[in-house]
Amino acid sequence: MNIAERILILDFGSQYTQLIARKVRECGVFAEIHPFNISAGEIRGLAPKGIILSGGPRSVYSEEAPHPTMDIFDMGVPVLGICYGLQLIAQHFGGKVDPAAKREFGRAHITVHGDQDLLANVPVGSQVWMSHGDSLTNMPEGFEVIAHTENAPICAVRKQDAPVYGVQFHPEVHHSEHGKQLLHNFLFNICKCDGGWNPETFIESATREIRARVGDEGVICALSGGVDSTVAAVLLHHALGDQVHCIHIDNGLMRKDESRGVIELFREHFNMSIDFVDASDLFLERLAGVSDPEKKRKIIGNAFIDIFDKEARKFNDAKWLAQGTLYPDVIESVSFKGPSVTIKTHHNVGGLPERMNLKLVEPFRELFKDEVRAVGSALDIPAEFIERHPFPGPGLAIRVPGEVTRERLDILREADEIYLDEIRKAGLYNDIWQAFAVLLPVQTVGVMGDERTYEHVCGLRAVTSTDGMTADWFHMPYDVLARMSNRIINEVRGINRVVYDISSKPPATIEWE
């Protein structure tokens, strides 16, 4: 991506690496995550205004410890090390890191040594978030301590003759009360960034990049009707005009009347061509008898590509397939940025076939959901599109754990519609990041009209989140839950029990599969 100024984040495997990028971007500076072992030449080519070394699960003194190219300290670019990053800096410059006598996980309170550049306007005693089992026990020569906590006498350091800094805590997480201030200080006081990265500048940069990459070739845009694909389609049309051919596929895994609504709303609001393909029978045939969630995702991914390859033949200029893939999708699917663990395969990332006839264009591959919403607003997309809850590419296939059948999907569709209807009636829709029903592969005994029933269990899920990387369960009012349960059991044949999911992410994921 062609960005005037950027901060480079080297990923050493921390669960918080993505949050660093989000916080930096919130400050108005573009942040880009790369593997820890990116070459010195590549770094110079990116010309970062500053470099941040993320945390990580390893010990710097272990044989398996990831290490960056040490040329980063000779580039004249400010460096900030976070947790593992601090320990890398200390070890490189001759300090000593050892297992901590007392490991530290959770809240701590920081004491700042004077009004320092990195810690300017960070109050003494403010809360920070710790997550480390090793500690810096011997300072490297030429460094000074600029903050400590009760358990960490060396909590933040800086090099006296160069812009190299390190903190033992995680300023990027919400629990570090003034963490964003620290990052702001690094960006503007130390790296001398100008700021100004926002949805409008992203649109300008993405438009130039899309035009340069695609040229005069055609793009098939996979339009699901969700936030990501809708914003992607409008952005691509903004960049390429009639070179974009939108296709909506009803895969039989959509919510009730979803496809009809997508076609009507899109044609009403946007002057773009859109073709409709009913492929529900094909998807359900391929999914028959399959229960493993990873297999479901791969089957769905392959089926989508088969259809798009076929549809693309109708357009002589079509060489590209556009998708609304987001950064969290990529992070959870593959360790492309660093030593992160694969959680699950997203059908539009790891679920794609190795060989396909269309080249991929994914303008939001480095963005988070809230950033895509902001881009959509800047493109004047109506709020009814922008504010929609996320809907997974594999659709309801991953909301019916176990085998996917037409009967189970129809039952789920009815329950899901009632659930969302009650959320809207209660005025809670925009307070929730994502809400959906799940049809469990479990049947339980019930009593209806003095008769014994043995029917499905419906699980209800609602979470609050900012970017989908972490989430908490939504505290649904009891009276609303009661109405939901009553309506679902009374109106949906095949369900006799309703449960509410109160799991956070982590340890659970938002979707059940």
Find tokens 């306007």 and name the residue: 121
- The alpha carbon dihedral of 26, 27, 31, 35 has a sign of negative
Contacts of 285 (CB under 8 A, 6+ apart): none
Active site residue 155: no
C-alpha distances out from residue 401 to 185, 233, 250, 296, Å:
47, 31, 20, 10
Cα→Cα distances 132→84, 169, 245, Å? 8, 8, 50
Confirm whether 83 is a catalytic residue. Answer: yes
Rounded Cα gap, residues 112 and 121, in angstroms: 10
* Cβ contact 186:78 at 8 Å: yes
Cβ proximity of 504 and 462 under 8 Å: no
CA 108 to chain centre: 28
Q: From CA 6, how far away is CA 132, in angstroms rounded?
A: 28
- From 27, 83, 221, 458, the catalytic residue: 83
Q: Is 502:462 a contact under the CB 8 Å cutoff?
A: no
> How far apart are the C-alpha atoms of 305 and 307, rounded to whole Å?
5
**Do the strands 318-322 and 472-473 form a parallel or antiparallel pair, or are they unpaired?**
unpaired
Q: Output the six-digit token pair for 387.
A: 């504010």
Check if the beta carbon of residue 12 is closer than 8 Å to that of residue 55: yes
**172 among known catalytic residues:** yes
Residue listed under structure tokens 């909301």: 399
For 93-135, where are the alpha helices, taking DSSP H only?
A: none
User: Is 215 in contact with 240 (CB distance < 8 Å)?
Assistant: no
Q: Which two tokens stand for residue 232?
A: 């992607």
Residue whose C-alpha is closest to residue 208's, from 372, 1, 45: 1
Helices (H) and strands (E) in the chain, counts: 14, 19
Catalytic residue (one of 5, 172, 414, 422): 172
Query: Cα separation of 268 and 145, whole Å?
Result: 61
Annotated catalytic residue within 27, 34, 155, 170: 170
Catalytically active residues are 83, 170, 172
